[in-house]
Amino acid sequence: MTALKTVRIGTRGSPLALAQANMFADLIARASGGGVATSIHPFTTTGDKILDKPLQDAGGKGLFTKELERAQELGEIDVAVHSLKDVTVTLPDHLYLAIFLEREDPRDCLIGPYATLAELPQGAVVGSSSLRRQAQLKATRPDLKVVTFRGNVQTRLRKLSEGEAQATILAAAGLKRLGMIDKAAAILSLDDMLPAGGQGIIGATLRNDAPDWLKDLAAKIDNEDARLAATAERAFLRRLDGSCRTPIAAHFRLTADGADMAGEVLADDGSKRWRAEGVIEGRPGVFDAEVLGQALAEDVAAERAWDLEGVTPPDYEPGDEMAEDET
């Protein structure tokens, strides 16, 4: 008998990360027609160990990926599976994002006894480890007291039940993948809280020198719609310092007529908000998505610079640079 090829899948060891890795393994098995076996290799990352300080003070997004990246470099695993919003916009030279899985609901959820942000009591304590969510909450409700909540989904829910806060915000995608969406009091609209770039998308990295059979298998499970969204949103983040040191949000979606996208950067305290929106007519390609993300980022960067310098901006609509590139 011919021995099966095996794909060694690296992942963080949290319940959500393991659930996502198992989803990925199932897709590999189906795409290969049973001709490829999988094994899952959990890692405890630096980000999982440091729970007593905000991520931006501990080193940023790479804290959740560097152990997996190192394992790929050493050949200990073949593929690393990540929540895309945890992946830095610039990867090590030996890796590339080879796979994007179909996007789950990208919105955020309000967790607690209140169904809307408006219902939260005056001065309510809300727990969140995300600078983006903290700034968006303060922009909407300056009276709220936002405190740092670190840990996986289960840990944050426990902290909430123990009274450390009156509410918290979690991603709908993670709750749905864990079968815990019933824990949400409400799913917030994109107008209420624009999500993080990549939220709801699972991304997987391969080594540049991965064998052809593995690259071919990766291509079979890559989702084109998710790739378009990831490309646009990561282009926006790349231009505007999309690390966890910047309150930044971006969301791209396909529509019946083409695609639209919104992106924003906020002051840490939510006192200022710089936002841009744009559209693509007709089915976009990866290049179109990249251009849209870059164009909106330039609009936001210019608006922010004018605002901070006290200069009146020129009279034009956001996205004009992109429109000129398309003609």
| Residue 36 covered by a domain | yes
129, 255: one domain: no
13, 96: one domain: yes
Region 126-133 average pLDDT: 93
pTM higher than 0.75? yes
| Residue 1 pLDDT | 42
| Residue 148 covered by a domain | yes
Structural tokens at position 55: 């991520």
Q: Are strands 202-207 and 95-100 parallel, antiparallel or unpaired?
A: antiparallel
80, 218: one domain: yes
Q: Could you read off the pLDDT of 273-307 as tens digits, one per residue?
A: 999 999 999 999 999 999 999 999 999 999 887 77
Residue 22, CB-side half-sphere exposure with 13 Å CA sphere: 9
Q: CA torsion sign, 57 to 63 to 64 to 65?
A: positive
24, 87: one domain: yes
Q: What is the DSSP letter of 241?
A: T
E strands, the chain, are 5-12, 36-43, 79-83, 95-100, 108-111, 125-127, 145-147, 167-171, 186-187, 202-207, 248-254, 258-266, 273-281
| CATH code of residue 309 | 3.30.160.40
H or E element in which residue 287 lies: helix 286-309
84, 218: one domain: yes
Cβ-based neighbour number of residue 166 at 10 Å: 18
| Residue 245 covered by a domain | yes
248, 295: one domain: yes
Angstrom distance (rounded) from CA 225 to CA 115: 31
The pLDDT-based confidence of 45 (bands split at 50, 70, 90) is confident
178, 297: one domain: no
Structural tokens at position 272: 């200022």
- Range name among 31-45, 47-61, 185-199 with the lowest pLDDT average: 47-61
Domain that includes residue 74, residue range: 5-101+200-222
| Residue 193 covered by a domain | no
| CATH code of residue 168 | 3.40.190.10
53, 33: one domain: yes
User: Which active-site residues does the annotation give?
Assistant: 86
241 or 87: which leads in pLDDT: 87
213, 178: one domain: no
Residue pair 187/105 in contact by the 8 Å Cβ criterion: yes
3-state secondary structure 62-100: HHHCHHHHHHHHCCCCCEEEEEHHHCCCCCCCCEEEEEE
CA 125 to chain centre: 25
92, 213: one domain: yes
| Residue 181 covered by a domain | yes
Give the number of domains in the chain.
3
239, 317: one domain: yes
Q: Could you read off the pLDDT of 11-38 as tens digits, one per residue?
A: 999 999 999 999 999 999 999 998 999 9
| Residue 117 covered by a domain | yes
124, 246: one domain: no
| Residue 274 covered by a domain | yes
Residue pair 57/167 in contact by the 8 Å Cβ criterion: no
| Residue 192 covered by a domain | no
For residue 285, which of 259, 320, 316 has the smallest C-alpha distance?
Answer: 259
Average pLDDT, the chain: 89
212 CB contacts (<8 Å, ≥6 apart)? none
Angstrom distance (rounded) from CA 307 to CA 236: 19
Q: Could you read off the pLDDT of 186-232 as tens digits, one per residue?
A: 999 999 999 999 999 999 999 999 999 999 999 999 999 999 999 99
Region 124-135 average pLDDT: 94
